[in-house]
Amino acid sequence: MATEQLRWGVSPLCWTNDVLEDLGGDIPLDTCLREAREAGYQGIELGRKFPRQASTLGPLLAAADLRLASGWYSGMLADRSVEAELEAVREHAQLLRQLGAKVMVYGECGQLPGETPLDEPISLSPPLSRVSLAAYCHKLNTFADLLLRDYDLQLAYHHHLMMLVEHDDELERFLSHTHDNVGLAFDTGHAFVAGVEIPRVLHKYGHRIRHLHLKDVRPQVLGRLYRENLSFNEAVRAGLFTIPGDGCIDYAPILDFVRDSDYLMPVLCRPGKAAPPPGIKRLRARCSCPAALTLHGPGISMQPIDITVYECLSSVGRARHRRRPA
C-alpha cells in the first residue's frame, strides 16, 4: 500500500462559517491554523478569512506546517458557458495550483432559488430535472478536462443540499452521464441527509472520489429539517452536522471503503492537545483518523464539522478500485 500520498485535512468551517458570518466571526485565522495543526491535521481547505494571494497565504500555511488541501469554488455551469466558467475560475484555480493543491471542490450554484438560497425552505431545493442533463454533463466533462489541462487540478464535484445534485437518484444520473475526469467530493453528511445510499455509491463510484468530507448528522435535527421545512442555514444553526461518531451515520461501510481502497493510513499525525469527543475516539480507534477538535463555545458547536481526506488515492489504489457493477 502506498501511503505517502494520503493526507488528512480539516475545513475551516470548524472555526468560522463561510456563509453565517456570526458563527465564528470572532475567531482569528491564526487560531484556526494553529489549532488545526495542534489537532494533528496535515492540510486545511480555504475559508472566508484566508487571504487569496499566494504570496500572503503561502507563508501563513508554512508557518503553521499545513498544506492547502483544496478550496470550494461556487460554479455556475448550470447557467453559463464553459468559456465563461473558465474565465471566472481563473484566479481561484491559479491560487490552488500555486499553493500545491491537486483538487478543486466544485459546488453548483446555478439554478438556485431566491436571493439567498440557503435561507429558503428545503422543499424549494432545485431538482436536477430543471436542466438538460445531457447538456449540463457535457459542460462538466469539458470543464473538468480543461481544468486538468490548464491548471493540473482534478475537479471534485460536491453534491450538496439545496443544489442541483442532491438526492440519490440525482447523484446516480449525474455520475452515469459524466466521465471519470469529473471526480466526486463525497460528503457523508450531505449524502445521508439527502437519502443517498452511501454503500452503493462507494461500491459503484469509489474510483471517482477525489475528496472526502467526513461528518455526522444529529437525528433529532434531521427530523426537524423535513418536518418543519427548515432552510439549510436554519438546520446548520440547530446543529444538523456534528463530528463523525457523534450522530446517526453508520460509518462501517465508509471505513471499509477507506481501508479497501488504500485510503487507510498509519497514524501520521499526533492527536491534539484537547481531549477529543467520544465519537472521535471511536473513529480514531477504527481507522487511525487524527481527528481531535478544539471547540470554541456554543456557537461553534453548531458548526458543520468537516474532516477532509485529500490526495487520498495512490495510483495503485485507483487501479484496485475500478468501476464495478452495482
**Burial class of residue 325, CB neighbours in 10 A (0-12, 13-18, 19+):** exposed
Say yes or no to pLDDT of 239 above 70.
yes
One-letter identity of residue 306: D
**Is a pLDDT exceeding 70 seen at residue 145?**
yes
- Give a yes or no: residue 326 inside a domain: no
Give me the number of domains the chain comprises.
1
Element (H, E) at 54: helix 54-63
Average pLDDT estimate for 187-216: 95
Q: CA triplet 107, 110, 112: central angle to 5 degrees?
A: 100
Q: Which residues contact 42 (CB under 8 A, 6 or more apart)?
A: 7, 8, 9, 66, 67, 268, 269
Task: Identify the CATH number of the domain in which residue 127 sits.
Answer: 3.20.20.150
Q: Percent of the chain at pLDDT above 70?
A: 78
Q: Which residues touch 100 (CB under 8 Å, ≥6 apart)? A: 67, 68
pLDDT value at residue 280 = 39
* Structural domain contains residue 78: yes
> Is residue 2 assigned to a domain?
no
Note whether residue 260 is domain-resident: yes
Residue 325 lies in a domain: no
Q: What is the pLDDT of residue 276?
A: 36
Please name the helix (run of DSSP H) or strand (run of DSSP E) that holds residue 286, with its range, or none: helix 278-287
Distance CA 69, CA 326 (A): 30
pLDDT at 244: 86
Confidence (pLDDT) at 88: 98
Evaluate whether residue 155 is within a structural domain. Answer: yes
1 in a structural domain: no
92 with 104: CB under 8 angstroms? yes
* pLDDT given for residue 309 in this prediction: 61
Residue 263 or residue 146, greater confidence: 146
- Span 267-274, mean pLDDT? 26
Q: Inform me whether the pLDDT recorded for 281 exceeds 80.
A: no
Structural domain that includes position 22: 7-320
Checking if the pLDDT of 279 tops 50, the result is: no
**DSSP conformational letter for 41:** -
The pairing of strands 307-310 and 209-214 is antiparallel
Higher pLDDT, 267 or 195: 195
Burial class of 60 by CB neighbour count within 10 A (0 to 12, 13 to 18, 19+): middle
Number of other CB atoms surrounding residue 80 within 10 Å: 14
Assess whether pLDDT exceeds 70 at residue 80: yes
Model pLDDT for residues 102-132, shown as the tens digit of each residue: 999 999 999 999 999 999 999 999 999 999 9
